[in-house]
Amino acid sequence: MSRRYDPERRRRLIDAAIRVVGRKGIAGLSHRTVAAEADVPLGSTTYHFATLDELLVAALRQANEGFAKVVAEHPRLSDPDADLPGELARVLGDWLAGDRTGVELEYELYLAALRRPALRPVAAEWAEGVGALLADRTDPVTARSLVAVLDGICLQVLLTDTPYDEGYAREVLGRVIPPGR
């Protein structure tokens, strides 16, 4: 019997892993649960991803596209005349107001790097990528500080179920950015 050519299978497995983690958390992720979710034979998951860490790395890379993409696509963030704290606060609010499950999933995968060293480089890529986008408007140290503040605000909203306060975010971000930036 010949093997069916399926160029999208790897992507479908990553999508399935993201859905499984979204529903069951990382503890619910296994090759078997991903294969069932993707409706493919179990061997397909191990063919494309020898370990769960490889699958988690691919899922984290894909999930990381969320906020970084929102930042990259927001034209006012690169406008030197725009109010950077206000624009960042607005972008963060838009992202948090979107698909809450996607935001939670991105952070669950991101924080999984605490226990899974294989994920750490991908988590670092995310922070560095967003920092690089922000460094165009400020210096690298301030950009890294902004990423840390954005992460902190997101985690406060996600973990305390409090509504996002754009005014608070604008105020805090404004304290990090040196005057004249």
pLDDT-derived band of residue 2, with 50, 70 and 90 as boundaries? Answer: very low
Q: What is the pLDDT of residue 11?
A: 92
Top-level CATH class of 64-176? mainly alpha
Q: Which residues contact 162 (CB under 8 A, 6 or more apart)?
A: 156
CB 78 within 8 A of CB 136: yes
Distance between CA 4 and CA 118 in Å, rounded?
31
Residue 36 DSSP code: H
Question: Do the domains spanning 9-56 and 64-176 agree at the CATH topology level?
Answer: no
Give pLDDT tens digits for 78-118: 888 889 999 999 999 988 887 777 788 888 888 888 888 98
Q: Average pLDDT of the chain?
A: 87
Neighbours of 43 (CB within 10 A): 10
Give the CATH architecture of domain 9-56. Orthogonal Bundle (1.10)
Q: What's the one-letter identity of residue 105?
A: L
Integer-rounded Cα radius of gyration of the chain: 18
The residue ranges of every structural domain in the chain are: 9-56, 64-176
Distance between CA 45 and CA 30 in Å, rounded?
9
Q: What is the pLDDT of residue 106?
A: 81
pTM, two decimals, is 0.79
Q: What is the pLDDT of residue 152?
A: 94
**Residue with tokens 């954005």, as numbered in its chain:** 150
> Does 16 have pLDDT greater than 60?
yes
